[in-house]
Structure 1
Amino acid sequence: MSYFIHANKFFFQNATENGGYLEITEDNKFGDYFKENQKPDGKIVDYSNQWIAPGLVDTHIHGLLGHDVMDNDWDKLNEMSEGLLKTGVTSWLPTTLTASFDQLDAICKTIGDNYQNATGAKIQGIHFEGPYYTEEHKGAQNPKYFRDPDINEYIKWQESAKGMLKKISLAPERKGAVEFTREVTNDGTVVALGHSAATFEQAKDCVEAGASMFTHTYNGMSAFGHREPGMVGAAMSMNLVDDELICDGYHVQPYAAKALIESKTPEHVALITDCMRAGLMPDGDYVLGEFPVVVENGTARLKDESHNLAGSILKLNDAIKNVVDWNIVTPEDAIMMASYVAAKSSKVNDRCGSILPGRDADFLVLNKDMSLSETYLDGVSRYKA
């Protein structure tokens, strides 16, 4: 049976509306929107002091609830998809770490064979973070698996994934990176640039070959200098590319986040979590890939002498609240950066990231302080804070 959501504010793709009624159709899709003075007949679910936003889309997430994509266990992946509903995420891209060809291929097969069976947040694709990286900015990636891009590996992975490999991140200075980027983007897969000591020119060459994203901008890349702009300068200044950004307050200082968002505009910044297996878990000892990690004081760090940040324990609903609390964007832009922009940047915005007629009714109920109140998936309430 269809019903209507009544709320204080609706964040649609191209406009924000005050008050009114949003139809959820019998087949659990978004229907028509009616203004406040056009009260429709039918069942009304009232959220008159709250806001309705599209479900969030996390396009860079490694783990949650003690599980990791690299565990290559479908039941654990599905538990992650269920847990993501508690963070306002209704669509996601399971994200790998650098690994051997065979290990990554096995993960492609597991997700390619099962993704349609997810009972929580929908799996819209796979994101490979690596393995074509360089050592200087390796972060928590394992350099023993670093290598030059190989189009034959990509073709086999994509076949195993049944076409679900949507995004692959690489270092532009690797031999063959430009040629690989050209072939992969012509195949419709997004190439992102990261974990790299590349010069501005090397990054620019890959962008001009088709790369359209930067991986967790500022983190794991050559810094901005006024004579050598580096990877950060390329991420900030190149036209039309989208930049991932981790807004937990630890990976990027809020005013650095503000500088990037203002230079790119919110339409080209995708909020991500880069969350590892300790997400939604207590502090303590964990593992990321093959490396021991300690989680405390809001961060996940390697246990070695580097103490590098090792992913995050950020929830995407907290990221949208943070950027508003830091006074660097409006609620409208914060929501867009974690839904529409994230989906668009990974070329899955035909299926998620916006409230549009005919789309799956995946949406959030937010309080006016940007905190999450409720998550709906396919028109059904699945999580209440």
Structure 2
Amino acid sequence: MTTVVKHATIYTGTEKIEDGYLRFDQQIQAVGPMADYHPLVSDDQVFDLAGQTIVPGFIDVHSHGGYGFDAMDGNADEIDQMVQKMTANEGVTSYFATTMTQSHENIAHAMVGIKKAATKNPVIQGIHLEGPFVSPLFKGAQPEKYIEGPDLKAFEHWNELAGGMIKLVTYAPENANCAAFERYCLAHGIVLSVGHSNATRAQMKQSLATHVTHLYNAQRELKHREPGVTGHALLEDNIYTEIIADSFHVYADMIKLAYQLKGADKMELVTDSMRAKGMPEGVSELGGQKVIVQDQQARLENGHLAGSVLQFPNAFRNIIKFTGCSIADAVKMASGNQAREFNLTQKGTLEVGKDADLNVLDSELNLVQTFSFGRSFNPENN
């Protein structure tokens, strides 16, 4: 089916078209100003989107779950259902199912389930393995009893079970025996990300990492005599930094500081969402731990934040609100940077030949409609 959307303001990821159109089936066939638009007999449906904005579909590379489901459950049907809800309600058109520190058996089970879910749902573009090779000093909501140093044999096994879908791994580079692990990751196209780490700047310089997991959170912080993980991430041009833009994990002023230092080209919006996202507030669960969700915050019983219930359109609006950045810059942080960093060549921008992944936003930047591979989704509360 060929669809045309017209008279919208379009942010392609490379340019802004004030009064534009898009023609697509599963992939984009044409994009440009309305002055270049000509109706075709083959057009099956045409939407007039005057007053609305089109942006590339959002890419979330760090999300554990939502809508009552979790990637660690390893249930392919449930993971598929969860991701469909993320697409419909949040405009997430590319997704990295994210695991957490657990037993080797539970992680292996998750790898098999996620791989199977990806055969059902191509929105699942990869796996983010968060732990277990992290530091107990900055464990956050990662269960300490399963934390360990890099186990290359186990990691190779998990990647084999996942069919090579691991694209991002969060680890602590100060752990012993990281060198072989890092080399394996780079040889297999897996991005190394420092998180839940007590690494010094000197140790960060020695690592091969080019990504930092949820900047500021669960990492050696910036101090005047030791920049730590946070300072290194802010100082180095080659480091991509995730940010959870909910004002709970990171206060708005600190998000603005990161934006001013890193710029729009090196920041990536993530939700770090857990099972309770999209569900009523109350008691939930993460990695076998009780989680209490109240006032839009998810916390363990000890008060530590346990992921988030942040929905991606809120992160998109918040980054504009907190930093004063343009919509074009927000698009980079929501889609373009992730596509570039993880070599998602069909994603991230609205260009001819790329997958028809796009979000329609109203004048307040609320999500109205999503197209994923050209298929239409509408938020469930509409």
* Equivalent in the alignment of 2:291: 293
The whole-number CA distance in structure 2 between the counterparts of 1:80 and 1:177 is: 34
Give TM-score scaled by structure 1 length.
Answer: 0.94
Per-residue displacement from partner, 1:279-307 (whole Å, max 9, x unpaired)? 00010001110211100011000013xx0
Matched, 1:183 2:179: no
Which of 354, 378, 381 is the matching residue for 1:383? 378
Matched, 1:349 2:344: yes
* Equivalent in the alignment of 1:240: 238
The whole-number CA distance in structure 1 between the counterparts of 2:323 and 2:150 is: 41
The 5 Å alignment of 1:73-88 reads 73-85=75-87, 86-88=89-91
Amino acid at match of 1:47: L
The 5 Å alignment of 1:316-331 reads 316-331=312-327
Which of 109, 113, 119 is the matching residue for 1:110? 113
The whole-number CA distance in structure 2 between the counterparts of 1:34 and 1:112 is: 37
Amino acid at match of 1:360: D
The whole-number CA distance in structure 2 between the counterparts of 1:150 and 1:63 is: 25
Question: Residues 124 and 348 of structure 1 are in contact (CA less than 8 Å); yes or no, is this contact kept in structure 2?
Answer: no
The whole-number CA distance in structure 1 between the counterparts of 2:119 and 2:351 is: 22
* Equivalent in the alignment of 1:338: 334
Matched, 1:22 2:17: no
The 5 Å alignment of 1:294-313 reads 294-304=292-302, 307-313=303-309
* Equivalent in the alignment of 2:35: 37
Per-residue displacement from partner, 1:3-23 (whole Å, max 9, x unpaired)? 321133111132111112211
* Secondary structure class of the residue paired with 2:371: strand
Give runs of ≥4 in structure 1 deviating > 6 Å: none
Amino acid at match of 1:353: G
The whole-number CA distance in structure 2 between the counterparts of 1:331 and 1:34 is: 18
The whole-number CA distance in structure 1 between the counterparts of 2:8 and 2:296 is: 33
The 5 Å alignment of 1:151-230 reads 151-206=152-207, 209=208, 211-230=209-228
Structure 2 unaligned residues grouped into runs of 5+? none
* Equivalent in the alignment of 2:144: 143
Amino acid at match of 1:12: T
Per-residue displacement from partner, 1:199-225 (whole Å, max 9, x unpaired)? 11111211xx3x110000000001101
Displacement after TM superposition at 1:327 (Å): 4.3
Displacement after TM superposition at 1:107 (Å): 1.3
Displacement after TM superposition at 1:30 (Å): 0.5
Structure 1 unaligned residues grouped into runs of 5+? none
Question: Residues 88 and 372 of structure 1 are in contact (CA less than 8 Å); yes or no, is this contact kept in structure 2?
Answer: yes
The whole-number CA distance in structure 2 between the counterparts of 1:3 and 1:313 is: 33
Amino acid at match of 1:145: Y
The whole-number CA distance in structure 2 between the counterparts of 1:241 and 1:280 is: 31
Per-residue displacement from partner, 1:158-197 (whole Å, max 9, x unpaired)? 1111111111110111111233212211221111000011
Matched, 1:94 2:97: yes
Residue identity (%): 33
The whole-number CA distance in structure 2 between the counterparts of 1:54 and 1:353 is: 6
How many residue pairs match? The answer is: 375
Question: Residues 14 and 349 of structure 2 are in contact (CA less than 8 Å); yes or no, is this contact kept in structure 1?
Answer: no
Per-residue displacement from partner, 1:82-105 (whole Å, max 9, x unpaired)? 110211111101100101222111
